Amino acid sequence: MMFNKLKLKDYLVLSLLVVLAYIFTATQKYYIPDIVILRSFLVLFVCVFLFLIFFFIKKPVKPLELAKTLSILLGIIAGVILIVQHLIMTFTPSIKNIIVFLISIIVPFISGFIYELTKRNK
């Protein structure tokens, strides 16, 4: 199992993009109607866009290896946040928590695949 090594610059850019995605996710309830499918699709779209930016900054030779690394890293981070914030602190389990967790795991693969397609077509 190959993983992609990330440098300090990569972690800083990734942290910024994750914070932007979190801000969008946390604030969308103020300007997007309360429709779970709509909100989930918008979070997926925004996150894929943000991670495409990361892929174009990083320019990996093997984008799916980077996607696997990011998926594991984000899955762990999202899992810990969901467990601490929604189960231990407030005990508010919901289907939305599972959707956010799944999006955090799937987004790097979608972005990596799109990045790989754009690189093949050049």
Q: What is the pTM of this model?
A: 0.85
- Summarised one tens digit per residue, pLDDT across range 54-103 is 999 999 988 999 999 999 999 998 899 889 988 888 888 888 888 888 98
The letter for the amino acid at 64 is L
Q: What is the mean pLDDT of the chain?
A: 88
Q: In Å, how far are 33, 89, 112 from 66, measured between CA atoms?
A: 34, 33, 8
Contact 97, 82 (CB under 8 A): yes
As a whole number of angstroms, the distance between CA 6 and CA 106 comes to: 19
Within 10 angstroms of residue 66's Cβ, the number of other Cβ atoms is 25
Residue whose entry in the numeric block shows the structure tokens 């899992």: 79
Residue 1 has pLDDT above 60, yes or no: no
Which pair of structure tokens corresponds to residue 28? 């969308």
Residue 18 has pLDDT above 90, yes or no: no
pLDDT confidence of residue 16 = 93
Residue 114 has pLDDT above 90, yes or no: yes
